[in-house]
Structure 1
Amino acid sequence: MPTQRTGLRRKIWVAFILQAAAISFAAVLGVYGASAVLKHVLIQRALQEEAGHYWQRLQRDPGSQVPDTYNMTGFLIPAGGSKDVLPAPLKNLPVGFHALPRSQGGSLVLVEKDGNGHLLYLLFKQEQVDSLAFWFGMAPLAIVLVVIYVIAWSTYRASKRAVSPVIWLAGQVQRWDPKNPESSALRPENLPVDVEGETLVLASSLHDFASRIESFVERERDFTRDASHELRTPLTVIRVAGDMMAGDEGLSPASRRALNRIQGAGRDMEALIEAFLILAREGDTGLPDDDFAVSEIVAEEVDKARLQLTGKPVQLELVLESDFGLHAPARVLSVMLGNLLRNACHYTDQGSVTVTVRRGAISVTDTGVGMNAEELARVFEPFVRVGDRKKDGQGIGLSIVQRLSRRYGWPVRLESTPGRGTTATIRFPQVTPA
């Protein structure tokens, strides 16, 4: 499972590998330092003490022999004596402590001179230096490294067992369908025996959360279904009754104006319900995609908008520069364009409203009240009304347009000048032939 291979277990494994590598590096560095101390400090000190002891013996007994043991070899050159008895690598060495290169034997050499001018050469054999470095350095290092690796592996196994319930829980959640999470695996009776402590609390919380989501989704589906039927039925009655009343030639002008307002409010309510029902659906399980020509939808919405201009000196015009097609829900475009047209007709008392269709874009231009920069910056906020606030309206039409544009990837741009009008443009990044 991806969570197990690349998630928490992998991070723990990498952490332990890095930890073991760091400890190993520190141990090797420490042993190397200890070897250097052994070679250049302890052996040097041992040679110096051996030389001091020999000078004391030489004062008591001029015939004392120089040290000659398994580890150490000595040479004494009397004052003014010849150095021919010395091995070649020692003849030119000054007084002090020296480390010969391996090509010359690799021994550690101490050269000392007493007050009488005698020269003492003490050699500590390289083989013994290497043996001491091994037994006091490499062997303990190997043991330490083995212990470190065993402890690291044991700790990793214990950590792996500790996080296994969390990984199992992550795997269960990963397989959930976001629109219908299956929480039955997280019921207390279905949990593995090693799920306990904080993981048990987390599993119980996720089970409760998923159950609530299932309840919310079911309520949303019921609301969408019921609202689609219950809200449209009375609006249909209002619309039919209004159409019948509009055919009565005996209506007074005041009654006809009131009837026009009722019909306009009914149309707005229908469009608002349609928009809410679309927004209530899941993005990938909502309306089916259709292949349609944009000009057909635009023409339908323009015809509907003409009813809103009854009695106004406003000309509504459709300009078709270039038609194109879309593969998307046609009702979404109807709702977006319908809201833009309602806004344009609502805030335009005289002049014109022009809808222009060009390839990849639809523009709605009016000669209404317009907006300033501050109003334009807030125009997409819910329940914000700009322009002429004396006019009726809910202030959510453009908010709905923006939410739909984001869901379907159709960006909307507004350009406006106070007193001169507004242009709203919907752009479609992906189009098809009309």
Structure 2
Amino acid sequence: MQSRRKLRFRLVLSFALFGFGLSVLFAVASLYVRAKVEDQLVVSALQHDIDQAVENKHEHFDQPLQSELISAWLWSDRTIYKAPLAWQNLANGVYDMHDVDQDGRQRHYKLAVARKYGLIAFLTYDVSREELGKRQLVTSLIAVVLLFSLLSLAIGLWLSRKVLKPVSQLATRLRDFRKAGKAEPLAQHFADDEVGELAHALDEYAARLTAMVERDREFNSDVSHELRTPLAVIASTTELLQGSPDLTDKLRERLKRIERASRQATELIEALLLLSRAERRGPTRGETTEVARVAADVIESQRPQVRGKPIEIELAAREPVSVNAPASVLSVALTNLIGNAIKYTLEGTVRVEVGKGRIEVIDTGPGIKPEDAERLFQRGVRGEGAGGSGAGLGLAIVRRLCELYGWEVSMRPRADTNGAIASIVFG
């Protein structure tokens, strides 16, 4: 049975215990270090002083027992000259003094001066041992700080791993579901806490998302099927009509236009279905699609737009380029690019160049602004001079198709003259 305690409670309890334990340990360590150092200092000072006093008494038995830790002198105004020169003019108070002893060693001591009743008293206290004790205390505290820092780091890592383990497990299960390609219930694997609540919310979101994707998939399949059926009837009917011997040239041309429009609609439906499924499909029977051939077909299908315009359409295939994609996908992309070039070019040339792993559509229209080149691929954005036709979706569809197959589509203004260059670089 998993614990039902809240994650927040576990975090608060863990860090409260951690802080309490750390404070107690630091207090105990500080008291121990202070007592230890102080005891060592007092013992060392007393032992050294008594040993030195015994040695002096042994060497000078007729003199009284003297201490080196604390020494006192008393002079009058007439005998003050016997005092060290640095002491003679000092007023009442306590001073920090530094000098050199008889052995040439630096000595640090406190000097208390009292002038009263015509007498001048001096009292010295050797603080060198205290300085040694302070250094030992500082060294000990630094060691304690380093020790507690390492201990805090270790405990923090352990606590964070322990407390955040459910979150890591949730992330791991989500990654496993992504690899498996399907979502499974998450809430049943976690306790009834914040992480369990998050897992339950993710389950609900995944269920809604799955249902929405299924509805979209069914809708796309139904629309694709319902649209392909009448388009197939139109294509078969136009094919039969074109075989009639009594057709006039004008009617035959109109039937070809109907056939091209039907084929373009079928290709567009297939491309949109691939986009809706985010499905990348290659050409049938492992074949590759010739870019120049598809470009030539698209140019022929777009020639009716050229009527009444002084425009020439040229195709220059400098070297063969093949792509691993259905001809319908490439046809939809090129139809939009070439159709836009013809639409915006009032006179001049629309040139389609194939080579070096790319295709470029170069026109002599009004051109585009450099800052608008990327914005034209957004949904609903139309170029200047578009008139009243179109919804601004053509280039957006081209961008999505190219992203699906790893191609790079872009537009830029011509540098030599008016016009724009649309290019697709095949990855």
TM-score (norm 1): 0.62
- Aligned pairs, number: 363
- For 2:3, the equivalent position in structure 1 comes to none
- For 2:122, the equivalent position in structure 1 comes to 120
- For 1:76, the equivalent position in structure 2 comes to 74
- Contact persistence 2:291–2:321 (CA under 8 A): no
Q: How does 1:22-421 map to 2 (within 5 A)?
A: 72-81=70-79, 92=86, 95=90, 96-100=94-98, 104=105, 106-115=107-116, 116=118, 118-124=120-126, 126-127=128-129, 160-177=161-178, 180-184=181-185, 186-188=186-188, 190-191=189-190, 195-223=191-219, 225-248=221-244, 262-282=258-278, 286-288=280-282, 296-310=290-304, 312=307, 315-326=312-323, 328-331=324-327, 332-346=329-343, 352-366=349-363, 370-371=366-367, 373=369, 379-386=376-383, 389=386, 393-407=390-404, 408-415=406-413
Per mean C-alpha deviation after superposition, the further-off stretch among 340-349 and 196-205 is: 340-349
- Contact persistence 1:246–1:256 (CA under 8 A): yes
Is there any run of 5+ residues in structure 2 with no aligned partner, and where? 1-10, 42-63
Q: SS at the partner of 1:363?
A: strand
Q: SS at the partner of 1:426?
A: strand
Q: Classify 1:254/1:412 alpha carbon distance in 2 versus 1 (closer, same or farther; 3 Å).
A: same
Q: SS at the partner of 1:280?
A: helix
Cα distance in structure 2, aligned partners of 1:421 and 1:251:
41
Identity of aligned residues (%): 26
Q: How does 1:423-434 map to 2 (within 5 A)?
A: 423-428=421-426, 430=427
- Contact persistence 2:267–2:331 (CA under 8 A): no
Q: Classify 1:389/1:146 alpha carbon distance in 2 versus 1 (closer, same or farther; 3 Å).
A: closer
Per mean C-alpha deviation after superposition, the further-off stretch among 342-351 and 168-177 is: 342-351
Post-superposition offset of 1:75: 2.7
Cα distance in structure 2, aligned partners of 1:138 and 1:423:
75
- Contact persistence 1:75–1:121 (CA under 8 A): yes
Cα distance in structure 1, aligned partners of 2:376 and 2:154:
62
- Contact persistence 2:74–2:119 (CA under 8 A): no
- Contact persistence 2:374–2:410 (CA under 8 A): no
Cα distance in structure 1, aligned partners of 2:144 and 2:170:
40
- Contact persistence 1:344–1:366 (CA under 8 A): yes
- Contact persistence 1:322–1:357 (CA under 8 A): yes
TM-score (norm 2): 0.63
- Contact persistence 1:378–1:384 (CA under 8 A): yes
Post-superposition offset of 1:91: 6.7
**Which letter does structure 1 place at the counterpart of 2:292?**
V
Post-superposition offset of 1:363: 1.6
Is there any run of 5+ residues in structure 1 with no aligned partner, and where? 1-8, 40-65
Q: CA RMSD in A?
A: 5.1
Post-superposition offset of 1:236: 1.8
List per-residue Cα deviations over 1:160-218 (Å, max 9, x = no partner).
Answer: 5432322222222233317834333x133x32xxx333222211111222233333444
- Contact persistence 2:187–2:197 (CA under 8 A): no
Post-superposition offset of 1:110: 0.9
Cα distance in structure 1, aligned partners of 2:115 and 2:192:
79
Cα distance in structure 2, aligned partners of 1:131 and 1:212:
72
**Which letter does structure 1 place at the counterpart of 2:238?**
G
**Which letter does structure 2 place at the counterpart of 1:306?**
E
